[in-house]
Amino acid sequence: MLSEAIKKHKIILASGSPRRQQFFKDLGLDFEIRLKPVKEEYPFRLKHFEISDYLAQLKALPFKEELKEGDILITSDTIVWHQNKALGKPLDTQDAFAMLKSLSNTTHEVITSVCFTTTTYEKTLNDITKVTFKELTDEEIMYYVDQFKPFDKAGSYGIQEWIGQIGVTKMEGSYFNVMGMPTHLVYKALNGIVNELQNP
């Protein structure tokens, strides 16, 4: 079991997201939370998963010099890819409304990238989930934005919240990925990393 094999290592989760922290608790893993501010900017030329890969790796940079042998740093980023552009976190109520209006009655992709960093190497993986919304009314969008204030969420929504319950009609891929962490891939990757570190 991973929870036993990984006891010789320290998992450092560089995320203030309560959802991501809960995922690691649910996986039965001991971890430490470390936070450092990072300006989430990326080169304009990047597209699709290149953006979230870049940002996940960018978030690891401030920690690299302080990592010790046995440490496994985990950083991640989630974007919504729609109509050939990335939707990040909304700036305000108006921006959140516009984002959800654009997602209404269409299919978009949610991409989460996870970067694993140790003292000797770095590995980044990503997962893509396709999400389809019904046609959302202006009243439904405003109710959701006013009541749930999704300003910390890429694409202005949390699938686990009211808008997901009443609005999502189809999904292809991992539900947990849409929430911000492809847990099945993270579990598999950590198993691989532990085996590599223990059997170099």
Structural domains of the chain, count: 1
Cα separation, 138 vs 58, in Å, equals: 36
pLDDT tens digit sequence for 110-150? 999 999 999 988 999 999 999 999 999 999 999 999 999 99
| From 53, 77, 92, 127, active-site residue | 77
pLDDT tens digit sequence for 145-156? 999 999 999 999
Paired tokens of 35? 């936070």
What predicted TM-score, i.e. pTM, was given to this entire model?
0.92
| Helical segments of the chain, H only | 2-5, 18-26, 49-60, 93-103, 138-148, 162-167, 175-179, 183-198
Residue 95 known to be catalytic: no
pLDDT tens digit sequence for 154-200? 999 999 999 999 999 999 999 999 998 999 999 999 988 888 777 76
Domain range for 149: 2-198
Q: How far is CA 173 from the centre of its chain?
A: 14
Is 152:84 a contact under the CB 8 Å cutoff? Answer: no
Report pLDDT for 88.
86
Q: Tell me the CATH number at 147.
A: 3.90.950.10
| CA torsion, ordered 67, 71, 72, 76, to nearest 10 deg | -40
